[in-house]
Structure 1
Amino acid sequence: MKKISIPKHISDHKVIPLEMDASTFFDRAIKSLERHQYEKALKYFRLVVEKEPDNPANYCNVAGVLAELGKYQEANNILQVVLQDVDPEMAECYYYMANNSINMEAFEQAEDYLIEYLRHEPEGEYSEEAEEMLYMVAYEMGRLPKQLIAPLPGLREKHEEAEWHLEEGRFLQATELLEELAKENPDYLPTYHNLGLAYFYTGKLEKAREIVTTILEADPNNLHALCNLAILSQHEGNTEMTKGIMDMLKNLVPVQPAAAYKLAVTMGMLGEHQVAYELFTWLLKVDDQPEASLYHHAATAAVHVGRLSVAHRYWRRAAWLDPRSEIPKFYLEQMETWMTEPGSIPNLTCYHYHLPFEEYMLKINQGETIEKVALEYEKNSLLHTSLTWALTHGDRQTKMQVLTFMRWIRHKEAEALLRNFLRKPVEDDELKQMAFFALRHMDAEPPYEVLYKGEMLALEDSTNSQEQKWQQVLACLLENMDNYERPQLQDAKMLWDFLRQFSEIVIRKVEGMAAAIEYVVAKYYDLSLSQVQVAEKYRVASSTVARNAKLILPLLHHYFKQI
């Protein structure tokens, strides 16, 4: 190779090094960020750290770029170095780490960081955002934020009680409790989700929609609110809106079990059974101790998508987990027929952990007319199968619910079922009395044969003056309660019918009994109506209202258990 010689006059010149300080690298890092060249920006920010190792802001810049690159754990490691070695008082690092943890779906870790930030900086730059995020991550985990559990020990218990009322179908009790919770803790979002559902199930659709709209205005992507809006829209017959929301929901992939469960139930109720099935089976895999109700949901979805053997296995598991419940037993018995005759499978619209007839009782609570629900008896084979099964195999409480429901069904098959029930030697007298009243209510032709103490008796129906007075009470009640909401009026009518059939109250004054029924219903709904006010309205003495209310109140708990 030829050697190249460098002229002396050139080689004698001194090379002056260019000073590259922290600000130079910082400027280059910013320019790289503006061009979205994150790897270059990271390299320059690291050089800034080398030049100024005691400046905590430099480390935060490195962590910020790492987060942009999706390296969230590495970013948090850098921020931990700041807190441990550089500046332990730089509390905003906790806020940055919370954001990174949320991106990694490490919600409990994010919650701890947020609480730590708020502890150091209760009025800090990010305090409002941190508080909102705290509720968000706790909601994703299906519970209250940790910092709220100690100062508000009764909130979680009250909310769980309200959820239990919802699950058991006691929507009025749930509504009352949730409204109280909303006043006490207006920032706790899950209360409003459940209150919206309670309003929906009690027929207060305008209030339900108002709550959903308010939530979505603040958070347009709120999963629970979108699910509730889809169900509301379907109930109102708004097909276009329902489809739009449903198409959006189908594309979601929730990572938290609580969100997945809400989405699965909603998809099932909207008829998207394949989506529901996939979500429920995923929940069964990730849940360490699945409840019987979850197996029931998954089994229902499995039937809809034709996975009968899977459904059978899930209901068997539900029966093992909940041996006292009649629900999995009923469906397992139906599966014996469905697996041999797939064409006999009815449309299982119910995803609730109920027997089918209980679903129709819920519809009555929602404000559907009893007549409309009763018409389903002819069309829905699963409904009358569940009624027959429950009267034969159900426990006493279940039989009481069936007999309460059946009085609205004017059908020969239902009548024959009740007549046969009266002849059974194993049923107690109170249940037979309920069956007798149900036959009378459906205008079945007397006599009614009943087996009593080993002897078959023929009971005749007698319409006496008391029956006429009860009819007058209803007319008086409807005339004076025309300004009430439909669910409230529906409850008044059903309470009237319950008292007419099952109480031994002797009516002295028609207006006094009507006034007492209105007063009791108003109190149950927490309406502002005194005994004096209702007495003036019906032109009776307040003592008459008080006396009749005292006769009704002991029966009220039993009545609301029946509906």
Structure 2
Amino acid sequence: MKKQLKPTRQKATIVPFIQSGEYFFKKGMKAYQLGDLYKAKKYFERAVQYDEKDASFALQLALVLAELGEYQFSNQWLFKIIHELDETMYECFYFLANNFAYLGLFREAIKYAELYLKHEPNGDFAEDLADLLELLKMDHEEEADEHENLIAMQERARYLLEKEKFDEAIVLLETMVDSYPEFWSAYNNLALAYFYNGDVQKAQEIVTQVLERNPGNLHALCNQLAFHYYLRDGRQVNELCETLSRVYPFFIEHRYKLGATFALVGRFDLAFRWLYHLYKIGYDGDEAFYYWLAHAAYYTGHEPFAKHIWEKVVTLNPDKQGEEPWVFSAPPLDEELQRIIRWFYRKNTAEILYGLYLFSQSPYKSDIAVSLVLRRYLPAHPLLRPFIDYFLFRMEEMLPSYVANIDRIAKTLMANNEEMEETLYISWFSVAINAIRDSEPFTNHPAWAAAMEYVWRKQQGMSVTQKSVAAKYHVSLSTVQKYVKRVRSLLS
């Protein structure tokens, strides 16, 4: 009898599907070569989302946008490449020159054409740009003269505002908006002139007019925020701050405007995000830039850096000596704050985190001066640093996502338990600290909260079932079982 062969099992080969910037870039190039520009645009946008530092991805997106006639968006990406990604990618000057020519901004087109020829006199685009320059200079001298006149008027208006000659500034700016009805910069400066001259209603009317005719104008939105702040309209300030916190400007001057405005209205967490970003990419700011950067740094707990920057302020303007942001009177510490500070003296890191969490639930949570005082009572521990930035200074945008998730799970526990059980929250922070070492993202908030409450109640000798906490937190029983094992492991 012949031996029968046992049927062999073929193991399935698992091919990982990894999406990356390179993956979407290749898809975009394929669509581009097939002439499907809209699909190419979509893929290139995904590529830059995955890898925002790759200049070649950004350049290809800029080229497709230009072919679709979206010249302004194309220019924003080209400027991002030049200022942030690769300043030696001189072909960007060629594409900027072409985009500005299509937009009818001939002086700008000439400027970038000449910049390309300066850096690449024998480059691939040199001959084309030489022809373009000849046409621009020959046919549009009148336009260039008008543009120069507009720039001169704008500089004069800025000078008058700086010298607080508001009546003269208003006359000049009114002339400008009459002659150039879509020159929004003049409108925004006119609104400022009226505001500083005491006519708040007129200033607000102009800002509203700009936003109606040019929705999303960043300077107008920032001016509107500043006006609401000076008028003590807290609700409007909070709403506008929330809106502007989601804005990511491409132009350097817009980032500066946004950062300075946030600092002006006391949102130093958001101000530091933009002003420090500009500092890191080598922005050569003026006295005002360093003044607001020093304030934003100090009021977000970066005191040594703030003092370093303040030296630049005093170098540029010695009269600022004595106006340092740290020259202030500390507010008195009432009984509630003293109770919070006592947690900061504990040796257990979880108990210190609990103290920070208590502060975030207190009436003082938005008082920067109090936050600065409390910061001095906290130990210099690297694990605590992101939690200090989050709980004291609300710097969520600049921190790892696990920090906010740990807080949200604590809030989920609080929302589902009537009484404040200190040991429950301290146990949760103990679990969180141990899980951080395993790079846990803490994304499933109700599952973590349900498992934590179940384990804690069992430890307290209470009667509780996994089924009851699953129903309480609206998660499945199997999910609770999975997370209970994880919590027990981390607590042990």
Considering the TM-score relative to the shorter chain, is it more than 0.5? no
TM-score, normalization: structure 2? 0.44
TM-score, normalization: structure 1? 0.39
Bigger-Rg structure (1/2): 1
